[in-house]
Structure 1
Amino acid sequence: MIKIKLCEPHIHRNETTFRPFMVAYEIFKDVGIEFTMSDDYDYAFVGQASIIDKKKPLQESIDKGLEFVSKITGDYIIVDGQDATTLIGTIDVFRESNATLFLKNSYLKDFDLYKKGWANGRMYWGEGNYSVPDIDELKPKMKLTGCNWLSTMNPQWFNNFSEKKYDVSCMFGYPSKQVVYEHNLCQTYYYDLHRRNLLKIISDKYSFVGLDNGQKVSMDEYFKRMSESKIVMSPFGFGEMNPRDVQSAMLGSVLIEPDMSYILSKPFVYENDETYIAVNYDWSDLEEKIDYVLSDYENIRDRLVQNFRRKFVEIYDTKNLVLHFYNVLKGLDDVE
């Protein structure tokens, strides 16, 4: 039995990172892998919340992360469960650490893109100062976790679709209620600009429902408004994947969001014009895509929603995560 200790599993972002593994706890045991809190372990899982502090300047965050891993006496694996392809903070700790592996939910398919400078490593936010010039040297120890943000969900599929009163649902936070900084870089500008530009296009032509000045509503009201919309818009935030993506299929609405084809993740449910409708990040083709969906709504809705549901159930089976991680461990020299 290979024992894996979960470090600080109750910290919020670590909890969501480790959750898919804990859901499959018994299945993992069946293949000889046990997750534990004990100090009797073969490898430790170090979640991103233990080694990065986004409220600090980047170098201070890195130093804090290195101090944390320096106290681990055995072998350990860094697990970055963030819902974004950026490597900022976590890969910097990995680079200077003795970690056995670096696991992450999502990467850029083209690793060469990490050599370019992006705003806090988020390619979709445009040019910036963060890059990973030595990605080729680090890549051999970088693997996928085998799960992602959507793995934390257990959707209930509704078959009696609500009457669709609105063309579009914009049930997302905007404007931001506070300015958010990550390693001294303001995130709010990028976050709000993307959503503001979307709403400008929607409000001029289509009937839509959203939040009043970004004020949250109850979950019942949130789902009601979304279920009454033909299309659910899912703009990017601090990451690309969002629970809203699955909720659109739950409620029988068409999902439209920026093109996801540049992402490497497993499982991966996003297939343009099969499970969702991809648009350009700058929304330059949004009207064209909305008009396409509305032109034959019921047929397009039925096809995309059913495809999304079928594919999600198939690829998000916990047995797939167990098999993937088993093979990751099997590739280590000291694991037989």
Structure 2
Amino acid sequence: MKAIFVIAGNGFPQYQAQTLMFPLLKYKRELKQKYDFTFEVAEIHRDMDPTDLHVMARTISSYDAVFVQGRPFKVHGEPFTREYILEFLNAISATKVFFDDGDSSCHLDEKVMEKVDVYLKRQVLKERSDYGTSHLERTPWSDCFVRLYDYHGPIMQSPAVSDSDVDKLHLGWNIGLGRDTYQLLMKRHWWGIFKDNGRSIDVHLRARIHGDFETRAWIHEHRKSMYDKVHELQVKHNVVSSDMRVPLAHYRKELQNSAIALSPFGWGEISRNDFEIIIAECLLMKPSLAHLRTEPNIFVEYETYVPLEWDLSDLQEKCEYYLSHPEERERIAKAAKRRYVEYYSNKLFIRRFGEIVNRLCLLTEAGSRPTTRNEVP
């Protein structure tokens, strides 16, 4: 199978494209050997006009499959209006795969789903039937926050996703497979510099609560509530808790000196901070991820991280417990990092992507026929 990846080029943030492409480039030879899968890359630039997109759509239709990164098409207005985006997808005659690199497991673009054969997400709901349920602000956890913090402002009510669209949904891979986190992981893994008994910070929390998050008051309140509960721990413990931005090197130095690090939800459930915390061998505490599946799946409750109730009612109790049980804290923190390292050492991405390739082969052989629910991993 020969594919082409259409990704963000000049004029767009590059981090998302790097996260999408890094594991593919890293295992390019193995994917060719095991699945006869080869690929090329085309970039969408911000100065392209709709005619350029249409010409590109015709050209790339000669490939067996076209993977389209979602990030360039998240920019509504100039130069890509929604109509042009849908026309671009409609003009591609090859098997179409849309990689929605949005942060949340639930924000699905129904109009895009209608135009493509496979819709990849970084993380998906564990119970696929939940996509058939309408949620306030589109996700189970935002629904919870809107009600918990008694929000009365404008609310987006997500429509239930049809069974035929859910059948197109397939698990992709998350931000943990980015090039920068891989380089940090390998550096820290081989040097092995972290010692739990030398950590001077008991509880660490750095997360934005202002700026973009103020437009979503329930996210702001969730993060503010986490700060409020952490501040109460300062009476007995050494706490670093601030939403002030610091240099990246300073932030990572703090993590390597922290016993516990907290990571709230933001636009989505999983962030790059989660992986930086794991690499630093801090104990990761964050709201429970029991509702979703993701790849790499290094989030196992009480084995690689400590889950918190979505209302954070158990945050202080769990911080106190794990601060007073250093052996258990260190066991979980080291297990998380070991699981992350083993994902690469065992080359598990090749198997994950093989499932996607096999599905595309089925679609190609059947002329892009609809899948049945039991075919979707």
TM more than 0.5: yes
Deviation at residue 318 of structure 1 after TM alignment: 7.3
Say if 2:109 is the partner of 1:93: no
- What does residue 221 of structure 2 align with? 193
Task: Check 1:54–1:114 CA distance in 2 against 1; reply closer, same or farther (3 A cut).
Answer: farther
The CA distance in 1 between the partners of 2:346 and 2:67, in whole Å, is: 19
- What does residue 39 of structure 2 align with? 35
Structure-1-length-normalised TM-score: 0.85
Q: Is the 8 A contact 1:101 1:143 kept in 2?
A: yes
The CA distance in 2 between the partners of 1:54 and 1:278, in whole Å, is: 36
Say if 2:308 is the partner of 1:274: no
Structure-2-length-normalised TM-score: 0.76
The CA distance in 1 between the partners of 2:76 and 2:135, in whole Å, is: 17
Residue in structure 2 matching 1:289, options 290, 294, 318? 318
Say if 2:193 is the partner of 1:159: yes
Q: Is the 8 A contact 2:8 2:72 kept in 1?
A: no
Q: Is the 8 A contact 1:252 1:305 kept in 2?
A: yes
**Matching residue's letter, 1:108:** L
Q: Is the 8 A contact 2:230 2:241 kept in 1?
A: no
1:139-154 matches, within 5 Å, as 139-145=166-172, 147-152=173-178, 153-154=181-182
Q: Is the 8 A contact 1:227 1:252 kept in 2?
A: yes
Q: Is the 8 A contact 1:47 1:80 kept in 2?
A: yes
Q: Is the 8 A contact 1:80 1:104 kept in 2?
A: yes
SS of structure 1 residue aligned to 2:364? coil
Q: Is the 8 A contact 1:169 1:231 kept in 2?
A: yes
- What does residue 150 of structure 2 align with? none
SS of structure 2 residue aligned to 1:28? helix
Deviation at residue 303 of structure 1 after TM alignment: 0.6
Deviation at residue 9 of structure 1 after TM alignment: 4.2
- What does residue 215 of structure 1 align with? 244
**Matching residue's letter, 1:8:** I
Q: Is the 8 A contact 1:83 1:149 kept in 2?
A: no
Q: Deviations over 1:13-37 (max 9, x none)?
A: 3443333322322222222111203
Deviation at residue 133 of structure 1 after TM alignment: 2.2
Residue in structure 2 matching 1:104, options 118, 121, 130? 121
Task: Check 1:64–1:210 CA distance in 2 against 1; reply closer, same or farther (3 A cut).
Answer: farther
Q: Is the 8 A contact 2:101 2:121 kept in 1?
A: yes
Q: Deviations over 1:287-315 (max 9, x none)?
A: 11111101212x02321122112211223
**Matching residue's letter, 1:159:** I
- What does residue 72 of structure 1 align with? 92
Deviation at residue 170 of structure 1 after TM alignment: 0.7
The CA distance in 1 between the partners of 2:315 and 2:89, in whole Å, is: 45
The CA distance in 1 between the partners of 2:96 and 2:346, in whole Å, is: 23
Structure 2 unaligned blocks of 5 or more: 43-59, 147-154, 367-377
The CA distance in 2 between the partners of 1:313 and 1:36, in whole Å, is: 28
- What does residue 314 of structure 1 align with? 342
Say if 2:351 is the partner of 1:334: no
SS of structure 2 residue aligned to 1:274? coil
Q: Is the 8 A contact 2:206 2:244 kept in 1?
A: no
Residue in structure 2 matching 1:129, options 129, 152, 156? 156
The CA distance in 1 between the partners of 2:251 and 2:276, in whole Å, is: 11
- What does residue 67 of structure 2 align with? 45
Farther-moved stretch of structure 1 (253-262 vs 77-86): 77-86
Deviation at residue 276 of structure 1 after TM alignment: 0.8
Deviation at residue 219 of structure 1 after TM alignment: 1.5
Say if 2:274 is the partner of 1:245: yes
The CA distance in 2 between the partners of 1:330 and 1:169, in whole Å, is: 43
Which aligned runs of 4 or more in structure 1 are off by greater than 6 angstroms?
Answer: none
SS of structure 2 residue aligned to 1:118? coil
SS of structure 2 residue aligned to 1:66? helix
SS of structure 2 residue aligned to 1:272? coil
SS of structure 2 residue aligned to 1:334? helix
The CA distance in 2 between the partners of 1:165 and 1:237, in whole Å, is: 27
**Matching residue's letter, 1:138:** D
Residue in structure 2 matching 1:170, options 193, 205, 210? 205
SS of structure 2 residue aligned to 1:124? helix
SS of structure 1 residue aligned to 2:165? helix
SS of structure 1 residue aligned to 2:103? coil
Deviation at residue 138 of structure 1 after TM alignment: 1.6
Structure 1 unaligned blocks of 5 or more: none
Farther-moved stretch of structure 1 (250-259 vs 23-32): 23-32
